[in-house]
Amino acid sequence: MLKRILICYMAGCLVLTAVSATAAEPPLRYNTVELQSEVQREVQNDLLNATLFVELNDPSPAALANATNKRANEALRIAKEHTGVRVRSGNNQTFPVYGKGNVLQGWRGRAEIRIESKNFEAASALIGKLQSDMQLANIAFSVSPETRRATEGELIVEAIGAFKTRAEIVKVALAGRGYKLQRLNLASGYNTPQPRLATMRMTAPAQDVAAPNLEAGVSLVTVTANGAIEVLE
């Protein structure tokens, strides 16, 4: 008798479990349509990044390090005197130079400084001054983080508006009485121009160098809205 009651109890549990699982299933949705909208805006680049370096050779690694460090330290000192420009040290490395027969001939050292500024005029003047004793590796322009965030905030509103416009078009095309938003995802993109590589090489003794003319150009900021709607019959 006990065995029979236990079996019935267990069977009841199985039935209840099956009912609960069925009740938990999401309701069926019909007339579901996937949509995507994308908006873009060209934004004036307002941030400059530049890298300058000194590269020297010497038979002695200690003498080489001393010479490159002096050049880099002097460049940092000069840069810090210019207001509106941020400067920091970059890569600093020393590597051996081999000749024929894989014989060590000496050492080559390289020290960098990196400049960041929104004041292009001040940055240009500083770059020209530093080029009398250093080489310019590259100049890159971009949209500053604060400008990009503000632009993305405006584009989010536009992207959602474009998504809603497409949803209305789909609703009318399917002769629906309305629609329900099932989900909506937002993503942003940013396309920066490639860094402008410097072709100028300092081979003459230190001398005054004209400040470069800078054209910052624009970058493309994009916001995409994608999701799904259910068209109501």
- The reply to whether 148 falls in a domain is yes
CATH number of the domain where residue 188 is located: 3.30.110
Average pLDDT over every residue of 20-35: 69
Give residue 217's pLDDT band: very low, low, confident or very high (50, 70, 90): confident
Looking at the fold, whether 61 and 169 belong to one and the same domain comes out as no
Range of lowest pLDDT (18-22, 31-35, 86-90, 184-188): 18-22
Structural domain includes residue 15: no
Q: Kindly tell me if the per-residue pLDDT of 41 is higher than 90.
A: yes
Same structural domain, 61 and 127: yes
Residue 21 lies inside a defined structural domain of this protein: no
Q: Do residues 77 and 40 share a domain?
A: no
> In this structure, are 108 and 165 located in the same domain?
no
- Both 167 and 96 in a single domain? no
In a domain, 2, yes or no: no
Distances from the Cα of 118 to the Cαs of 2, 48, 50, 79, in angstroms? 85, 6, 12, 15
Alpha carbons within 13 A on the beta-carbon side of 79:
28
Confidence check: pLDDT of 64 > 70: yes
Q: What's the mean per-residue pLDDT of the chain?
A: 83
Task: Tell me the percentage of the chain whose pLDDT exceeds 70.
Answer: 79
Could you tell me which of 37, 30, 25 has the C-alpha nearest to residue 222? 37
Structural domain ending residue among the three candidates 117, 142, 167: 142
Give the mean model confidence (pLDDT) for residues 69-84.
92
Per-residue pLDDT tens for 175-212? 999 999 999 999 999 887 554 444 333 333 345 666 66
In this structure, are 85 and 168 located in the same domain?
Answer: no
| Structural domain ending residue among the three candidates 120, 142, 164 | 142
d(CA 37, CA 160): 8
Q: Is the domain of 55 the same as that of 122?
A: yes
Looking at the structure, tell me whether residues 169 and 88 fall in a common domain: no
**Which structural domain range is residue 124 located in?**
47-142
Number of domains making up the chain: 2
- SS3 for 130? helix
